[in-house]
């Protein structure tokens, strides 16, 4: 019953997500754009407290949630609609809205910061790829990693590499898209599929273009085909899991660092598994990360520009620190 009500409210009010609505007369909602936005917090509390149905309201800009105690005669959907209307009108109230030039300035700073991080990460990965290739370190790296081989690690690495298989990535993308649609985040869901299918197609084209043979330094325990450069597992994992991390960090900004760290660790584990299994050179993996990050950045920028309403309110949201993590 609660899940159905939650979906109904979310589908009608795209800026509101129910957090707890099980008690009549008391509800907690997540408000997109409230996280870190003290001006919106003040505006919400002021506007809601003036309404006859509201008995008490407490907005929290540290979590992005708002707690509302209201008259039992009012429905939860009506309260959600009231909050939705107030948030939508937020930018139209001169007395509480941050001046336009300040908002624009913050957007410019956020966009520049994100682009710098992404560009820096791509540049670092590209330089790493060129340096390893120029010094002929590919074979030495694989032979060094081979010394770590053990039956236990073999099992772990085969499991890790499965999460980068094309079938797995498409399945994960499909399931996550379904969840996004249930959250009424159609633009995020559509962009995810564009990112996934576009990334797979782009990787196939690059493999055909470079036509690099795979390493054959020892007997493999997994079957592989097609060309080696760039690594499809590394490239498409960066795109799919990176985009999932971005959308989760956008919805749960208070856990942004944890989500970004987990996404980075997951993507790195998949890339390392390809080296451990001896099916890719190091330059295949680093180039795959670089190409994936470029496509991921393009998809995120497309997503942001395609959500003008949400972007006008969420001045504190930006791409997760994924790029910054990969620079280190």
pLDDT of residue 243: 92
pLDDT digits (tens, 9 = 90+) for 90-109: 755 534 444 444 444 444 45
The answer to whether 109 touches 318, Cβ cutoff 8 Å, is: no
- Given the candidates 3.60.110.10, 3.30.1510.10, 3.30.70.100, 3.40.50.150, the CATH classification of the domain at 2-92 is 3.30.70.100
Residue listed under structure tokens 């994992």 = 237
Give the residue-averaged pLDDT of 104-129: 59
pLDDT level of residue 307 (50, 70, 90 thresholds):
low
Sequence spans of domains, the chain: 2-92, 100-327
Provide the β-strand partners of residue 26: 69
The answer to whether 49 touches 68, Cβ cutoff 8 Å, is: no
Q: Is the pLDDT of residue 256 over 80?
A: yes
pLDDT of residue 59: 87
Least confident of 112-116, 192-196, 312-316: 312-316
pLDDT of residue 129: 72
Q: Is the pLDDT of residue 240 over 90?
A: yes
- Greater model confidence, 89 or 242: 242
Q: Strand, coil or helix: what is 206?
A: helix
Residues 6+ away with beta carbon under 8 Å from 316: 33, 35, 36, 37, 253
pLDDT, mean over the chain: 77
pLDDT of residue 314: 40
Within 50-137, where are the H helices? Answer: 76-88, 100-134
pLDDT of residue 152: 93
Per-residue DSSP letters for 274-325? HHHTTSS-HHHHHHHHHHHHHHHHHHHHHHHHT-HHHHHH-TT----THHHH
What is the torsion angle, in degrees rounded to the nearest 10, for the CA atoms of residue 70, residue 71, residue 74 and residue 78? -20
pLDDT level of residue 118 (50, 70, 90 thresholds):
low
Give the phi and the psi of residue 231 in degrees, each rounded to 5: -65, 120
pLDDT of residue 91: 56
Give the residue-averaged pLDDT of 99-126: 55
For the chain, the C-alpha Rg in angstroms (whole number) is 23
**9-10-16 Cα angle (round to 5):** 100
Residues 278-315: b if buried by 16+ CB within 10 A, e if exposed = bbbbbbbbbbbbbbbbbbbbebbeebbeebeebeebbb
pLDDT digits (tens, 9 = 90+) for 31-55: 877 777 788 888 888 888 888 888 8
pLDDT of residue 26: 84
């Amino acid at each position: 019953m609660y899940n159905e009500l939650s979906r109904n409210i979310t589908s009608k009010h795209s800026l509101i997500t129910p957090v707890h609505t099980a008690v009549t007369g008391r509800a907690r909602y997540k408000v997109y754009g409230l996280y870190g936005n003290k001006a919106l917090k003040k505006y919400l509390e002021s506007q809601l407290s003036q309404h006859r149905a509201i008995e008490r309201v407490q907005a929290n800009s540290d979590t992005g949630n708002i707690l509302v105690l209201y008259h039992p005669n009012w429905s939860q959907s009506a309260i959600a609609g009231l909050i939705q209307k107030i948030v939508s009108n937020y930018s139209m109230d001169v007395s509480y809205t941050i001046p336009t030039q300040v908002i624009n300035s913050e957007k410019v700073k956020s966009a520049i910061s994100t682009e710098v991080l992404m560009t820096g990460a791509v540049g670092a990965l590209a330089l790493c790829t060129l340096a390893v290739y120029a010094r002929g370190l590919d074979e030495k790296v694989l032979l060094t990693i081979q010394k770590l081989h053990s039956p236990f690690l073999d099992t772990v690495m085969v499991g890790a590499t499965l999460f980068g298989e094309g079938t797995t990535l498409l399945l994960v993308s499909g399931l996550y898209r379904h969840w996004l649609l249930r959250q009424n985040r159609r633009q995020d869901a559509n962009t995810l599929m564009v990112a996934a299918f576009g990334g797979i197609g782009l990787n196939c084209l690059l493999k055909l273009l470079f036509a690099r043979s795979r390493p054959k330094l020892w007997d493999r325990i997994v079957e592989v085909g097609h060309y080696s450069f760039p690594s499809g597992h590394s490239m498409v994992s960066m795109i799919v899991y990176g985009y999932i991390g971005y959308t989760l960090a956008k919805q749960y900004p208070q856990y942004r660092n944890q989500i970004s760290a987990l996404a980075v660790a997951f993507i790195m584990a998949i890339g390392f598994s390809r080296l451990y299994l001896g099916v890719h050179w190091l330059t295949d993996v680093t180039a795959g990360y670089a190409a994936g990050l470029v496509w991921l950045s393009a998809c995120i920028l497309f997503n942001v520009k395609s959500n003008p309403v949400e972007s006008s309110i969420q001045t504190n949201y930006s791409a997760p620190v994924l790029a910054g993590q990969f620079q280190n």
